[in-house]
Structure 1
Amino acid sequence: MNAAHTGVFQDPALLSLYIFFAFFVGLVLYLHREGKREGYPLISDREGRVLATPIQGFPAVPDPKTYLLAHGHGTVSAPAQREERDMTGILKAYDAFPGASQIALGDPMQDGVGTASYALRADTPDLDWDHGAPKIVPLRAAPGWTIAEGDPEIRGRPLIGLDGKVAGTIVDLWVDKSDVLLRYVEAEVSGSGKRVIMPIGVVHWSGNGPVKCDTATCAQIAAAPTTAHPEQVTLREEDRISGYFGGGELYALPGDRESFV
């Protein structure tokens, strides 16, 4: 073939390469745009500052799309105006520059800020795929589910707080029926009868000894957030409870939040 007449459209390999490049660039832009269905447009984090023009970047935020929820539980649109927590009087910027660290004005564990933060997720239980029923429930509400033979039975044991005081008694365990895992331990607080659930990862025990909470004192366990339903936990409650006890790793004791040096 004469070189003078050789071009892109006469070279199938080169044409295929250019088509692939164009497709790949379009795919990246499409995925980047779809990724802006949550969190955009950006808002200012400076107190009293409202942006004159919403920050969207390129490409812009996509048009709203409606999604069907599983088990016929309605629809959800994205992007959409989401319910946000009111942080007035809870946090204050360390300085006036954009992105400055936020300082907790009260008890971070109770206020749910810092490492104890939580989001306003749906206030409904997470459902299993088989029956559309709540998948995380206490063993007393899960017929056929038991502690495996040979595993320790901690129900009935005392619960000890981070300060070494007795906070209550372990009364049940909550199982995730979809993942076949124990998710929470449930304790009845001494003196009040209040029941709280704690992520199983923040407690430990040895042999036949008591169950010890690693991230909350006796008083903090008694003041922990709980569930509205005695045998169900919603997505929002899970986030709140996990944030509370997870945040105790840094906030439970006064000296824990500062550096060692």
Structure 2
Amino acid sequence: MRIGLLGTVRTINPAVRPELHAGLPVGTELSAWPSRVGVFPATPVEQAMQAVGHLEAGLSAADAGVDAVVIDSVADYGFAALQAALAIPVVGSGEAGLAAAARHGRFAIVTVWPRSLNFGPQSLLQLYGLEQQCLGIRNVADEAVLDSLAGSDGYLGRVNRADGSIMSQILTAIDDAITQGAEAVMLGCTCMSPMAAKVAVATRVPVINPLFEGVKKAVALAESRAGNGADRPVTTDRADLVRRMVDAIAGEVDENCPVCVVAAEM
């Protein structure tokens, strides 16, 4: 079973998102399909640009023969367009993670990002009608972290290593959410996937890793689709036009989008 992760950067580590493999069926292969749109999604404008980048990555993954694709971002960049363009299953980590959290009752979202980036999960809560069930988004970082993302000593490197101070802030935020009545907590970014197991061990309510939920759902959908005949992997006649649009900006300097760069230092 081949699952393409859209937005994940290829890395010198041969295993893509190695923390996920223990919970997946034997033989599941995860492959990285980066967005070639290197803009940081700081506002809805850049978020829309990332939607095009993820669409183009999904078209490439489907052409390469993956069985399903997962958007490696809680913001689910390009979800609707990907579903319209591909014949294979398309899963959003945000969609799958929120659904898993909601099954436990009232839940909270805890994220390593500042409040300025909350528009992504907030839009999904509205889309799926979960605003009342969610007890809020708890941010463990201030805006200053956006100025020091890259490098082994940058904020993303610290998140990836589950730095002690960051872990402490996350656990404090989770305890506060539980005090307020949360019956589950969803991690608010797929970049938190490497620390998900450590957080879960230290927490007394279910901790939802949205990326794992997305991959698990993609595997199930791909398995149910197998044997029903091979559809064309791409169903849109706009694929070449999308690629030309992305080609126009693909050479710009990468702004270290957190959706993309975390895997590069695993």
Q: Could you say which TM-score interval applies, normalised by the shorter chain? A: under 0.3
Which fold has the larger relative contact order, with Cα–Cα distance below 8 Å and residues 6 or more apart in sequence? 2
Which structure has greater strand proportion? 1
* Structure number with larger C-alpha Rg: 1
Higher share of residues assigned helix: 2
TM-score (norm 1): 0.20
